[in-house]
Amino acid sequence: MGQDQRDNKELQEKLKHYRLNESEHRRIAGLLGREPQGVEWALFSAMWSEHCSYKSSRVHLKGLFNKSERVLQSFGENAGVVDLGDGERVAFKIESHNHPSFIEPYQGATTGVGGILRDIFTMGARPIAVADYLCFGRPQAERMEKIVDGVVRGIGGYGNPVGVPTITGQTEFDPSYDKNVLVNAMAVGLFRKGEKVFLSKAKGVGNLVVYAGAKTGRDGVHGASMASESFGKDSEKKRPTIQIGDPFFEKLLIEACLEVMEQDLVVAIQDMGAAGLTSSSFEMASKGGVGFNLHLDRVPLRESTLQPEDILLSESQERMLMVVEPAKLSNVEALFKRWGLEAVAIGEVTAKKTMKLFWKGDLLTEIDPELLTEHAPMYERPFEPWTPSNRVASVADIAGESAADIRASLRTALSSPQGCSREFIFRQYDGHVGASTAADCHESVGVIRLKDSGRGLGIVLGCRPQMMRLDAREGGLDAVAFPALELAAKGFEPLAVTDCLNFGNPERVPVMSSFVAALSGLNEICESLVAPIISGNVSFYNETEGRGITPTPSTGVVGLRPTVTSLPKSDFVHEGENVFLLRLPQLWTSGAMGEVTGPESTGPRAFGTLNGKEIAALVTSLRKLTEGVGPHSPATENTISATRVVGKFGLGYALARMAISKNIGVRLSRSATQAARPDLAKMSFAESLFCEVSYEVLISSTESLEALRNRFASHGGDPRSLHLIGTTHGHRFVIESGSSSDTDPEGTLDVNLLELKMDYDSGWSSAFKNLSFERQY
How far apart are the C-alpha atoms of 188 and 130, rounded to whole Å? 6
In three-state form (DSSP H/G/I as H, E/B as E, the rest C), the secondary structure along 57-125 is CHHHHCCCCCCCCCEEECCCCCCEEEEEECCEEEEEEEEECHHHHHHCHHHHHHHHHHHHHHHHHCCCC
Of 242, 101, 290, whose CA–CA distance to 182 is shortest? 101
Residue 500 pairs in a beta bridge with 537, 554
In the chain, the amino acid numbered 740 is S
Three-state DSSP at 172 gives: strand
Of 57, 151, 168, the residue nearest 553 (C-alpha): 57
At 380, give phi and psi (nearest 5°): -105, 80
| ∠ CA 584-586-592, rounded to 5° | 100
How far is Cα 467 from Cα 475, in angstroms, rounded to an integer? 5
Spatial distance between the Cα atoms of 109 and 19, rounded to a whole number of angstroms:
25
CA 633 to chain centre: 34
Nearest to 477 by CA among 510, 536, 524, 513: 524
| CA gap 21, 170 in Å, rounded | 37
Catalytic residue among 25, 51, 60, 99: 51
Count of CB atoms situated within 10 Å of the CB of 33: 6
Residues 6+ apart with CB under 8 A from 508: 548
- Separation CA 628–CA 490 (nearest Å): 9
* Closest by CA position to 270, among listed 78, 76, 111, 91: 78
The CB density around residue 773, as the number of other CB atoms within 10 Å, is 15
Catalytic residue status for 51: yes
Residues present in the chain in total: 777
Report in angstroms the alpha-carbon separations of 48 from 374, 546, 671.
Answer: 10, 23, 61
Query: Cβ(150)–Cβ(218) under 8 Å?
Result: no
CB-based contacts of 13, cutoff 8 Å, min separation 6: none
Q: Annotated catalytic, 97?
A: yes
Catalytic residue among 25, 60, 97, 723: 97
Q: Cα–Cα distance between 471 and 476 in angstroms, integer?
A: 9
- Helix (H) / strand (E) element for 538: namely strand 533-539
φ, ψ for residue 184, nearest 5 deg: -110, 125
Distance CA 213, CA 272 (A): 10
Q: For the stretch 641-673, what's the b/e string if a residue is b when 16 or more beta carbons lie within 10 angstroms of its beta carbon?
A: bbbbbbbbbbbbbbbbbbbbbeebbbbbbbebb
Helix, strand, coil abundance in the chain, percent, nearest 5: 40, 25, 35
Report the distance separating Cα 354 and Cα 763, nearest Å.
Answer: 59
Euclidean distance between CA atoms 297 and 533, whole angstroms: 40
CB hemisphere CA count around 223 (13 angstroms): 38
**What span, in angstroms and rounded, lies between the C-alpha atoms of 81 and 465?**
28
Catalytic residues: 51, 97
